[in-house]
Structure 1
Amino acid sequence: MEISRTPGLAGRGSRSWSWITTSAATPKGMAVPYGIYDPARNQGFVVVGTSYETPAFAVDAVTLWWKSYRQRMCGRAKELLILADSGGGNSVRSRGWPYHLQQKLVNPHRLTVTVSHYPPGASKWNPIEHRLFCQISKNWAGQPLKSFQTALNYIRTTTTLTGLKVRARLLRKKYEKGEKISAQEMKHLALTRHKTQSKWNYTLRPM
Structure 2
Amino acid sequence: MVNRSADEAETVLRLSWDAKAAVKIGDFSRGGKNRLERKGADHDFQPKGILNPSGIFLPQWDDLHLYFTASAVTSDFIVDVLERWWGSNRQRFPRVDTLVINQDNGPELHSRRTQFLKRMVQFARDQALRIRLAYYPPYHSKYNAIEHCWGILENHWNGELLDDVDAVLEFARTMTWNGKKPEVELLCGTYRKGIRLSPRQMKVVEKHVTRDAELGKWFLDIDGPSLRLG
If the length of structure 1 is used for normalisation, what is the TM-score? 0.91
Q: Residue 90 of structure 1: SS of its match in structure 2?
A: coil
Larger radius of gyration: 2
- 1:85 partnered with 2:91: no
Q: How does 1:181-200 map to 2 (within 5 A)?
A: 181-189=197-205, 190-200=208-218
Partner of 2:23: 17
Q: Which deviates the most, 147-156 or 17-26?
A: 17-26
CA displacement at 1:128 relative to structure 2: 0.6
Q: Which deviates the most, 136-145 or 187-196?
A: 187-196
Identity over aligned residues, as a percent? 27
Q: How does 1:89-108 map to 2 (within 5 A)?
A: 89-103=108-122, 105-108=123-126
Q: Structure 2: which 5+ residue stretches go unaligned?
A: 29-40
CA displacement at 1:165 relative to structure 2: 3.0
Contact 2:210 2:220 survives alignment (8 Å): yes
2: distance between equivalents of 1:88 and 1:144? Answer: 30
Q: Which deviates the most, 85-94 or 108-117?
A: 85-94
Q: Which deviates the most, 149-158 or 181-190?
A: 181-190
Partner of 2:139: 121
Deviations 1:135-158 (A, max 9, x none): 111111110111222111111111
CA displacement at 1:89 relative to structure 2: 2.7
Which of these residues, 142, 150, 154, is aligned with residue 137 of structure 1? 154
Contact 1:19 1:147 survives alignment (8 Å): yes
2: distance between equivalents of 1:78 and 1:139? Answer: 35
Q: Which deviates the most, 72-81 or 170-179?
A: 72-81
Contact 1:37 1:45 survives alignment (8 Å): yes
1: distance between equivalents of 2:110 and 2:203? Answer: 19
1: distance between equivalents of 2:152 and 2:212? Answer: 34
CA displacement at 1:102 relative to structure 2: 1.3
CA displacement at 1:110 relative to structure 2: 1.1
Deviations 1:53-79 (A, max 9, x none): 11111111111111112x121114211
Partner of 1:146: 163
Q: Which deviates the most, 86-95 or 146-155?
A: 86-95
CA displacement at 1:164 relative to structure 2: 3.3
* Structure 1 residues 203 and 182: alpha-carbon distance in aligned structure 2, compared to 1, 3 A threshold: same
2: distance between equivalents of 1:164 and 1:91? Answer: 30
Contact 1:14 1:87 survives alignment (8 Å): no
Partner of 1:6: 12
Partner of 1:201: 219
* Structure 1 residues 134 and 21: alpha-carbon distance in aligned structure 2, compared to 1, 3 A threshold: closer
* Structure 1 residues 184 and 76: alpha-carbon distance in aligned structure 2, compared to 1, 3 A threshold: farther
Q: Residue 35 of structure 1: SS of its match in structure 2?
A: strand
Paired amino acid for 2:14: G
Backbone CA RMSD of aligned residues: 1.9
Paired amino acid for 1:75: P
4+ residue runs over 6 A deviation = 21-24
Paired amino acid for 1:172: C
Paired amino acid for 2:94: G
2: distance between equivalents of 1:180 and 1:174? Answer: 17
Deviations 1:71-116 (A, max 9, x none): 121114211110011114322342222111112x212111111101
